[in-house]
Homo-oligomer: A and B are copies of this chain.
Amino acid sequence: MACTSAAAAATSSSSSLSQLQLQSHFHGQQSGLASSGTHAESLRTLTMRVNGHCCSSGGRGGGFGLGRRRAFVVTCKVAPVKKTVVIGLAADSGCGKSTFMRRLTSIFGGAATPPRGGNPDSNTLISDTTTVICLDDYHSLDRYGRKEKAVTALDPRANNFDLMYEQVKALKEGKSVEKPIYNHVSGLLDPPETILPPKILVIEGLHPMYDERVRSLLDFSIYLDISDDVKFAWKIQRDMAERGHSLESIKASIRARKPDFDAYIDPQKQYADAVIQVLPTQLIPDDNEGKVLRVRMVMKEGVKYFEPVYLFDEGSTINWIPCGRKLTCSYPGIKFFYGPDTYYGNEVSVLEMDGQFDKLDELIYVESHLSNISTRFYGEITQQMLKHGDFPGSNNGTGLFQTIAGLKIRNVYERILADGPSVLNRAKI
């Protein structure tokens, strides 16, 4: 429900990926709660490009999971990952999560692809270091089941948090799992696919921080918070243009989702280490177009392995209009804000960008004035933004803050890794 089809979002993988064998298991069980057994009924071997870090997993190996029709199991001979760092990304559907994930995997090197040769409607994206799983795959009710019981996908009752917890925990412990697939095209639950413990596991979707047990597994968490005005504009664009929904059905869908969204999704903000808020611009008086955006990154203070980005002077309050003598920006210009604040009772730092970049000069100029951005070299943010100039938001704060969030996740990962040998259970699976 909340995830773009990974297959649609995927780009072709780079030549550096290692060749792995994929075995797909067909079986005929009904969808339901997790079991650690195997659900394969028949096997076929496929070649899959997974990115050099997977763990060995037997054809009928003991991963958690289930599916309705078939399961994919990956085998490989590379060294097992020492630690799996788990990142949570929460947002409503159509909020740019898939773009965010493509930015993130790009930062780690290599393109993100869906499991090669598997279910073409898989929501999973795999790159060298990162596996992104869509939490829609943990829907316990498919589209028809939700309709029957009159619950939305946002409702916890339509989701299987026990299985979500078990599988994320298993992956974090180095065990592969049999993760179900929610098919966004058919609205049905497809047979599971095997997920191997990656270096970085990103769980993205509606509820990564809803369940306390799942939340406790997260090493870092992000909430994409899109204001209603902007969300509406985005949803129209995507659901009308890409999914063929009518304007009226979109409006009705938003109205119908609102109570559950407010009840179950929105409250997760308070748990996020970073919240990216997308709001209408303040640079154009009474702007209704929603093309120019004001984007804020709310960063929690005191989070282990995470130092908030700052502008010029850490902890003070700053408004900065970089356009001036050294940099000429076209109307309506660019404006930054940075300062301390409180958010749901937590001490946070806020970095805000209003407006959009016209050209490279502006972006590198801004980057050069930000601190704690966890880049490896001067201009890395600009390089990433340029590399994906065709992604939505590459000229504004959504792209900038998604890129920065990606760099911070990489930094969190590296620091956790540097913190000595894993204490997690890496028992044979």
A318, A322, A339 pick with most chain B CB within 10 angstroms = A318
Q: Which of B320, B340, B369 contacts A317 (CB 8 A)?
A: B320
The CA of A189 and the CA of B324, in the complex, are separated in Å by 51
Residue on B nearest A337 in the bound complex, by CB: B319
A312, A319, A324 pick with most chain B CB within 10 angstroms = A324
Copies of this chain, whole number: 2
A316 at interface by CB-CB < 8 Å: yes
A323 at interface by CB-CB < 8 Å: yes
The CA of A392 and the CA of B308, in the complex, are separated in Å by 40
A314, A321, A327 pick with most chain B CB within 10 angstroms = A321
Q: Which of B315, B320, B323, B327 contacts A312 (CB 8 A)?
A: B320
Q: Which of B316, B319, B322, B324 contacts A327 (CB 8 A)?
A: B316
A359 at interface by CB-CB < 8 Å: no
Which interface class (under 10, 10 to 19, 20 to 34, 35 or more) fits A? 10 to 19
A255 at interface by CB-CB < 8 Å: no
The CA of A321 and the CA of B322, in the complex, are separated in Å by 17
* CB neighbours of A323 from chain B (8 A): 316-317
| A339 pairs with B318, CB closer than 8 A | no
Q: How far is the CB of A103 from chain B (nearest CB, A)?
A: 26
| B321 pairs with A339, CB closer than 8 A | yes
A326 at interface by CB-CB < 8 Å: yes
Residue on B nearest A335 in the bound complex, by CB: B317
| B312 pairs with A324, CB closer than 8 A | no
| B326 pairs with A314, CB closer than 8 A | yes
* CB neighbours of A228 from chain B (8 A): none
The CA of A317 and the CA of B318, in the complex, are separated in Å by 10
A162 at interface by CB-CB < 8 Å: no
The CA of A322 and the CA of B314, in the complex, are separated in Å by 9
Interface residues of A, Cβ cutoff 8 Å to B: 312-327, 339-340, 369
